Amino acid sequence: MVDDQTEIEQKPRRPWYRRVAIWATAVAAGLLVWFVLWTIHVYRYELPSIEEVYNIEPPLKTRIYAADGTLLQEYFNQNRTLTPFAEIPPHMVRMLMAVEDQDFYDHWGINPRRIVVVAINNLLKMKIEGGASTITQQVARMLFLNREQTLTRKFKEALTAIKLERTYSKNEILETYLNLYYFHRAYGIAAAASVFFNKKPSELTVSDCAILLGMLRGPTINSPFNNPDKSLQARNRVLYAYYKFGGLSRDQYEALEAKPLTVNPQPEDIGGAPYFTEYVRQYIENTYGADKLYNGGLKVYTTLDWTLQQSAEEAMTRHLDSLQRLIESRYDADDPNYTFVVAKDGQQVRRYKQIEGAAIAIDNKTGDILAMVGGHDFDKTQFNRATQAPRQPGSAFKPFVYTAAMDNGWTPDSILYDNSIVINIPGAPEWRPHNFDDEYMGRMTLREGLKLSRNMIAIKLLLKIHPELAVFYAQQMGITSPLRPVPSLAIGTSEVFLNEITSAYTVFPNGGIRVKPRFVLKIVDRYGNVLEDNAAVQKEEVLAEQTAYVMVSLLQSVLEPGGTGAGARARGFTRPAGGKTGTSDNFTDTWFIGFTPQITAGVWMGFDDRTSIGYNMTGAVNALPVWVRIMLTAHRDLPVEDFAAPSGIVTADVCAETGLLATIHCPTVVHEVFTQATAPTDSCRVHTRGGPYPAHRNRDALPDTSSGSIRF
């Protein structure tokens, strides 16, 4: 009989090791799938894009050049200049491979054999260390990654290297590596060759290359500047590796190893024309941005005449130093007007203030800034007094008043009276202007008034034509600073900048044409693309050609004997020229601005805080000598030119008393220049048989001959 309960047959269980194997396979398959998916994700989304790989742009320094190609200054975050592979010494390339990646030309971005060796070494040491990275992987790290020692970073580095190898040739990768690497104080082989040896990359010797490559494992520690002994040891290790690689014979290696460490550092300085290049730097940063300036590898070609610039700097420094010694001899060291307090060794001591100066030279025809000096010492102060310091021009402003008058019917022989007046200004105290010498000379022509820089003549002339008219002409000619239309404008009480008033003066020798100043000729990017080309000269007619010529004639008088600028001739400047001195109230600002047919230059001197330079320290005393030095150099290789009279200009001998055409009986005859519209046509009838003294032909020009009060 069969029991109701039957025995249940059970299947035999798999051995445990088979179950483990199945689970291990499943986990491994899962990990593999995860790894593949993660790798795809990293490759697509966390690595640099194809565009980034194709468009590698390492930071490059911007270079500023003078007109003759002289390198003036460099601006950079990383001191780097790209060097093409063809200009890299072959021994540098082979030595790099010997030290960093001997199988470089045989792998595809990563070296599996080295990876296995390093991985086993890391397992034995129980920590992650480098050593397996190929040159391509190092390029990937320098371009797109960081130096953290993690498996994730190493993996990304390897994948990025594969991308690079698919995009660039082997030589291009080597070129990129040597242009990217940081060699202590220098990025890339070109900068390193210059900084350490004052050479071009193509001039590097085997020993030079070994010194540089010795810094690969420690740019700071193995720098010959920081640790010469360690640098020597590192160099010799590189030479040995190169010898083992087959780059040197045994004898060559031993000879090089025995040589002492030799470097030839590039001299460090702030560059040439520091105030000018800082002016250019600010323009580039404002126009293209800081990143383009410091990383874009721009080449900036400027208008600067390097020879003239050096002469201007030397002349300015020499004169300021001489003037400084004079001031320190005149005033005590405890005079609060000329000294200031500084802390030294826990004590308060006084130092003399530094007298400052600025100068600028401009090519009349092109507007090119040929030289610019912004102060005594750029190291101590970067404030550019040629472009950033608004100062009172004093009598240097008078030519704009005379220009407005000449363009509106007045002539050089028009008569005004140099005498005292009182000007009543509503809501303000009465103003009693005076001449520099506090004396009055009575009746005189406008030519004499400008030549002798008589304040009263300029003020009366301004009141006759009205201040608003003078403001209009000054602005037309290039003055952009605010000008107050008040009587004192005639003697330069409204502040202007040296560069703008010097540029405005170029209108006179340019025949009424204003040329926009330029200081940058061309800007080229790292690829040779022209970002800016200022070859075209920007011109605008702002003044009648005949009026400009009359003003040139008037300003030439200033340099004649008896004129305030006659010192220019005494100092040896004999070319046809015109100009004007300027001295503000209390001898605070001193100027001289002058021109030839080719070049206009302006010079200013004074204290930054507007302290008086001292009694009788005028523009003729301070600024004129520097102007002469600058102009002598500027014209050294230029032909002598005179100012050409345009059509519509008439010259005539006139009676000094009547302003009419002179006769043989006139006691004083002057040869004067006029426009056709203002030239006299009648002969003097006074100096024939005698008679009453007639009115001057410019009747509207005649003021009261006596002192008086004028309401403004």
pTM equals 0.83
Lowest mean per-residue pLDDT among 58-62, 153-157, 284-288, 393-397: 153-157
Give the pLDDT confidence score for residue 702 in this predicted structure. Answer: 45
Nearest-CA neighbor of 533 among 517, 520, 522?
A: 522
| pLDDT greater than 80 at residue 387 | yes
Largest Cα–Cα separation, the chain: 182
In sequence order, which residues have a C-beta less than 8 Å from that of residue 206 and are 6 or more positions away? 91, 95, 239, 242, 248, 256
| pLDDT greater than 50 at residue 368 | yes
H-helix or E-strand spanning residue 474: helix 467-477
Asked if 672 contacts 413 with a C-beta cutoff of 8 angstroms, the reply is yes
Mean pLDDT of 554-569: 97
Could you give the 3-state DSSP secondary structure of residue 383?
coil
Lowest mean per-residue pLDDT among 233-242, 300-309, 396-405, 693-702: 693-702
| pLDDT greater than 50 at residue 699 | no
For the chain, helix (H) and strand (E) counts, in that order, are: 22, 20
Q: What's the CATH code, domain 356-416+444-517+539-629?
A: 3.40.710.10
Asked if 646 contacts 603 with a C-beta cutoff of 8 angstroms, the reply is no
The percent of residues above 90 in pLDDT, for the chain, comes to 69
| pLDDT greater than 60 at residue 46 | no
Mean pLDDT of 37-64: 64
Residue 517 structure tokens: 């100043």
Give the pLDDT confidence score for residue 352 in this predicted structure. Answer: 94
Exposure letters 263-282 (e unless 16+ CB within 10 A, then b): eeeeeeeeebbbbbbbbbbe
Beta bridge partners of 651: 673
Centroid of chain to Cα 421:
47
The percent of residues above 70 in pLDDT, for the chain, comes to 86
Residue 249 structure tokens: 């014979």
| pLDDT greater than 60 at residue 127 | no
Catalytic site residues?
Answer: 100, 395
Lowest mean per-residue pLDDT among 214-223, 362-371, 420-429, 468-477: 420-429
What is d(CA 615, CA 667) in angstroms, rounded to the nearest whole number?
39
Domain 86-258 shares a fold with domain 356-416+444-517+539-629: no
Mean pLDDT of 148-153: 61
Give the pLDDT confidence score for residue 680 in this predicted structure. Answer: 92
| pLDDT greater than 90 at residue 114 | no
Give the pLDDT confidence score for residue 705 in this predicted structure. Answer: 46
Residue of higher predicted confidence among 274 and 20: 274
Asked if 143 contacts 54 with a C-beta cutoff of 8 angstroms, the reply is no
Lowest mean per-residue pLDDT among 162-166, 306-310, 483-487, 560-564: 162-166
Residue of higher predicted confidence among 424 and 346: 424
What is d(CA 31, CA 36) in angstroms, rounded to the nearest whole number?
8
Give the pLDDT confidence score for residue 184 in this predicted structure. Answer: 84
Residue 695 structure tokens: 């009115």
Q: What's the CATH code, domain 86-258?
A: 1.10.3810.10
Nearest-CA neighbor of 416 among 448, 439, 394, 452?
A: 448
Centroid of chain to Cα 408:
40
What is d(CA 592, CA 396) in angstroms, rounded to the nearest whole number?
7
Other beta carbons less than 10 A from residue 503's beta carbon: 25
Give the pLDDT confidence score for residue 13 in this predicted structure. Answer: 63
Lowest mean per-residue pLDDT among 27-31, 509-513, 542-546: 27-31
Could you give the 3-state DSSP secondary structure of residue 139?
helix
Q: Residue 12: phi, psi to the nearest 5? A: -65, 135
Give the pLDDT confidence score for residue 82 in this predicted structure. Answer: 87
What is d(CA 128, CA 153) in angstroms, rounded to the nearest whole number?
12
| pLDDT greater than 60 at residue 374 | yes
Lowest mean per-residue pLDDT among 4-18, 193-207, 321-335, 580-594: 4-18
| pLDDT greater than 60 at residue 345 | yes
| pLDDT greater than 80 at residue 70 | yes
Residue of higher predicted confidence among 411 and 154: 411
Please give the sequence-ordered ranges of beta strands (E in DSSP) within 500-546, or none if there are none: 513-515, 520-524, 530-533, 539-541
Strands of 356-363's sheet in order across: 369-373, 356-363, 599-606, 589-595, 578-583
Nearest-CA neighbor of 492 among 582, 370, 618?
A: 582
Looking at 299-386, list the stretches that DSSP marks H as alpha helix, in order from N- to C-terminal side.
306-330
Give the pLDDT confidence score for residue 19 in this predicted structure. Answer: 67
Q: Residue 655: phi, psi to the nearest 5? A: -75, 125
Looking at 71-146, list the stretches that DSSP marks H as alpha helix, in order from N- to C-terminal side.
90-100, 112-125, 135-144
Residue of higher predicted confidence among 707 and 601: 601
pLDDT band at 685 (very low <50, low <70, confident <90, very high): confident
| pLDDT greater than 50 at residue 700 | no
What is the chain's mean pLDDT, rounded? 88
First to last CA, the chain: 147
Report pLDDT digits (tens) over 391-414. Answer: 999 999 999 999 999 999 999 999
Please give the sequence-ordered ranges of beta strands (E in DSSP) within 464-554, or none if there are none: 513-515, 520-524, 530-533, 539-541
Mean pLDDT of 253-277: 87
| pLDDT greater than 70 at residue 36 | no
Residue of higher predicted confidence among 140 and 102: 102
Could you give the 3-state DSSP secondary structure of residue 199?
coil
What is d(CA 140, CA 162) in angstroms, rounded to the nearest whole number?
9
Q: Which amino acid is at 201?
A: P
| pLDDT greater than 50 at residue 706 | no
Give the start-to-end residue ranges of the domains of the chain: 18-47, 86-258, 356-416+444-517+539-629
pLDDT band at 674 (very low <50, low <70, confident <90, very high): very high
Q: Residue 99: phi, psi to the nearest 5? A: -85, -40
Mean pLDDT of 589-602: 98
